[in-house]
Amino acid sequence: MNIYQSLNKIELTSEHQLLLQASLLQGQKALQAWQQWKEVVDIEDHDAESFHLFPLLYQNLSAHQVDDPHLVRLKGVYRRQWCENQLLFSKLGVILKSFQEAGLKTMLLKAVALASQYYSEKGLRYLSEFDILVPTTDALKAIRLLEQLDWQPKGKLPENLTSVSHILRFENPEGQVINLHWHIFWSCFQDDADNEFWQDSLLTQVRDVSTYVLNPTDHLLALCVQVYPWNPVLPIYWLTDAMTILNSSSAEIDWHRLIRMAHTYQLVLPLKILLTKLQECLDAPIPISTLETLETINISGFEQREYKVLTTKSLPMFGSLTPRYFQYLRAVKNVNSRFKLLEFTRYLQYVWGLDHLWQVPYHATFLGIKRIRALHI
């Protein structure tokens, strides 16, 4: 079995597939999926992933004028999520206003961008945190601003943070989370790495504050990183988001650009899986020529090695170092001159915020012990 065939076996339960079809398809296919899903799932006893799709399911069934007592339950979930998201967007508007007043340009990423731009109503997409991108040159200024707004960074702040990372997580006293990004992908740390994404982004409004989101083509590309089996995001989420983008903006997708950028960022393998799954599960409107072109593109040796190593069962104590190593290799391959002067151990020193190189093996051991303990809880 080759790597593509192996990754194509990403697990999507039959229940989740039926729920996706009932929530996202149109006509008889959606109605049949709804009836089949009801027969195998107790609507009062479900997993969290299914629960988060209930608002979307409610909207689709209502649009099909379905008369079913279960819609009362679904409507309640939808209304609750709508109210919660309104509060979150109000909070986000205040944050974005502070960034704007400080002269900081922002772009929304991931769930909050999808809910704002591609879902027809803001109550349809479950939100648990905010993801905000700023230009690389403004990263340190944005970090200081969030601290002034009583958002505390989670973890240490290495001196050369923006050179060895792409994101910093913040939490406020209420437990809300902001992920501050200064790069979209964790493998590209040059100051100009995201220029093309910024240039072709879309202007949008959140509570009368201007901000940006990725265009639909680039948002599909960004979803590719969730496809890998070592990513914690389950297929039901990234398939829902991708299909929602296609349903709302299929005419605006630049398929040639999508393939070109997947090749540039070495995301050909997950893009193949994403588009194949969309077509198989949801009959997505993907041009046949695009799928045929993807079939002719060879998966790079690096992508193959990365997949093989990261899906091989490793020693639990130091398993967390493996993703870091491939992150480092991706950064080096992307011609970051600073990385070329660093050995992997020095890279770990910067990422972990250590003062001295000799602390790296001790910290790696400490993290390994924590990992083992977590596996036995």
Within-domain flag for 113: no
pLDDT of residue 1 exceeding 50: no
Give 298's contacts (C-beta < 8 A, 6+ positions apart): none
Q: How many domains does the chain have?
A: 1
Give the pLDDT band of residue 299 (cuts 50, 70, 90): confident
Give the pLDDT band of residue 206 (cuts 50, 70, 90): very high
pLDDT of residue 3 exceeding 80: no
- What span, in angstroms and rounded, lies between the C-alpha atoms of 131 and 108? 6
Q: Select the highest-mean-pLDDT range: 10-19, 201-210, 264-273, 348-357.
A: 201-210
Per-residue model confidence (pLDDT) at position 337? 46
- What span, in angstroms and rounded, lies between the C-alpha atoms of 187 and 85? 31
Give the pLDDT band of residue 108 (cuts 50, 70, 90): very high
Within-domain flag for 317: yes
pLDDT of residue 33 exceeding 80: yes
Q: Any idea which of 86-100, 193-207, 290-304, 316-330 has the lowest mean pLDDT?
A: 316-330
pLDDT of residue 338 exceeding 70: no
- H or E segment to which residue 171 belongs: strand 167-171
Within-domain flag for 325: yes
Within-domain flag for 376: yes
Tell me what the pLDDT averaged over the chain comes to.
86
Identify the burial level of 362 via C-beta atoms within 10 angstroms of its C-beta, where 0-12 means exposed, 13-18 middle and 19 or more buried. exposed
Give the pLDDT band of residue 351 (cuts 50, 70, 90): confident
Within-domain flag for 349: yes
Within-domain flag for 283: no
Within-domain flag for 182: no
User: What residues make up the domain containing 340?
Assistant: 313-377
Where do runs of H (alpha helix) occur along the chain? 3-7, 14-24, 27-40, 48-63, 70-101, 110-117, 139-148, 161-164, 195-199, 216-223, 235-249, 255-264, 268-282, 288-296, 301-310, 321-333, 337-340, 344-352, 359-375
Phi, psi (rounded to 5 degrees) for 168: -140, 130
Phi, psi (rounded to 5 degrees) for 170: -125, 155
Helix, coil or strand: residue 131: strand
Mind listing the pLDDT tens digit for each residue in 223-257? 998 887 666 678 899 999 999 999 999 999 999 99
Give the pLDDT band of residue 87 (cuts 50, 70, 90): very high
Within-domain flag for 15: no
